[in-house]
Amino acid sequence: MKWIITTLASCAIVIGTVLVVFGYLRSEPATEMLDADVALINQQIDEARTQAASYGSGALQAMVNMRIEILEVTAALLTQKRGSLLRRVDLVYSVDGEKHRADPKVISDLEAALLVSEGERDRHEADAARYNGGLLQVMSLMNAATKDLEVSQIHLSILAEKYGFPFGFSNAIRSEPVGQVTVQNEVDAL
């Protein structure tokens, strides 16, 4: 009898261990996906640094430096997520007390916005290539740099939604700017 109980306990431990291991092997996201996304972000950081070096100082370089910062934050978040997976730490973010789950509709909407922004950026870059200098080229380059910033922010939002580190921004539309009150009567303005 003692031998049967010992055997059953041993089998239960082995089966439990196997189930846990398979659960971790199937866990999403896979580190290969994270590695590919981190590699892509690092490539974009290198390209942005090369671009920033070509501009010298000024507004264009400041725009590119902002883009570099966004990309570095994205890389840091992905690296943290990858580290948590490798160490089997459940890195979960809660929004309003509930675990964040990736919403495929949000991701597809963001990907559509990404395509639009990339198209506009490419249009501004092509416009800038038409000129050899001057104010028109600078304005086109500024527009392209602004769209590059937008592309980086959308890419960060896609990866945040995909890997479960939401920003928790409220979707509520405010009727008044934060910290300001609309004055209805001139006497109240003083």
> In this predicted structure, what is the pLDDT of residue 181?
62
Residues with pLDDT less than 70, the chain: 8-9, 11-12, 14, 16-29, 87, 89-95, 166-183, 187-190
151 within domain boundaries: yes
Tell me, what's the pLDDT at 43?
93
**74 contact partners, CB below 8 Å, separation of at least 6:** 41, 152, 155, 156, 159
Query: Does residue 92 form part of some domain?
Result: yes
The answer to the question of residue 80 being in a domain is yes
Q: What are phi and psi of 94, to 5 degrees?
A: -110, 140
pLDDT of residue 93: 66
Domain-located, residue 8: no
Domain count, the chain: 1
Q: Is residue 14 part of a domain?
A: no
Rounded to 5 degrees, what angle do the CA atoms 9, 13, 19 make?
140
In a domain, 181, yes or no: no
Q: Which residues of 48-59 are buried (b: 16+ CB within 10 A; e: fewer)?
A: beebbeebeeee
Q: Is residue 91 classed as helix, strand or coil in its secondary structure? A: coil
Domain that holds residue 74: 29-166
SS3 at position 23: helix
